[in-house]
Each structure stands twice: as C-alpha cells, then as structure tokens.
Amino acid sequence: MAVKYRLSSKAQLQYSQILSYTLDKFGEIGHQNYSSLLKQALHKISVEPYGKHSKERSEIRKGVMSIHLRNINSEVKKPRHLIMYRIKPDYVEIIAILHDQMEISKHIP
C-alpha cells in the first residue's frame, strides 16, 4: 500500500515556480516532461520512501531524506532538482524541491 505524501506550503510554491520557469524556458513539451518527472518522483517517494535512490541527509537535519530527479526515468535529459522530505508515521512530508546547486541546509526548516 502506498504511503500518502503532503507538500508543505514552501514545497507547493517551489513546485509551481519550477514548472512556471520550465514553461518559459523550455516550452510546453519541456513543461509537460518536467511535470511528469516531478509526479513520478513524488509517486516513487510515496511507494518506497526508503528506496535505493533515496538518501538520508542527517548532515542537514535529523530525519531529512532526499532523492535527486536524475534517478527517476523520464524524458528529461539532465534534471537538476532534489526533493527533500521527512517520513512521518502516516505520510511523507515533502519539505522542499531544490535546485542541486543551492546550499540545501539554508532551505530546510
């Protein structure tokens, strides 16, 4: 059975901003491909939060996990984002969706 996930308000905003930027920069097809990639990644996290591509990030904060979008099969050639999350008893909390060049510790509550 899949674990539910919830996007924090910060992650919701980042999700929207990423897709808006992608539409402006890469057009409708790029937007559709990246949107699909994000949805696939969220599904993967909800089904397998401790999956082989998930990484424990205790150096950032205790209980924080991440998965890089490059580990999700998709049409996107070089995805550049990480999904940061925490595993709660009844759901997975998506706390941020960050570009891989960002200093992650500054963006995790």
pTM over 0.75: yes
- The CATH number of residue 20's host domain is 3.30.2310.20
Q: Mean pLDDT across the chain, nearest whole number?
A: 92
Rounded to 5°, angle at Cα 20 from 17 and 21: 85
| 51/18 Cα distance (integer angstroms) | 24
pLDDT in tens, 19-36: 999 999 999 999 999 999
| 9/62 Cα distance (integer angstroms) | 21
Number of domains in the chain: 1
Amino acid 2: pLDDT: 57
Instruction: Look up the domain containing 96 and give its range.
Output: 4-107
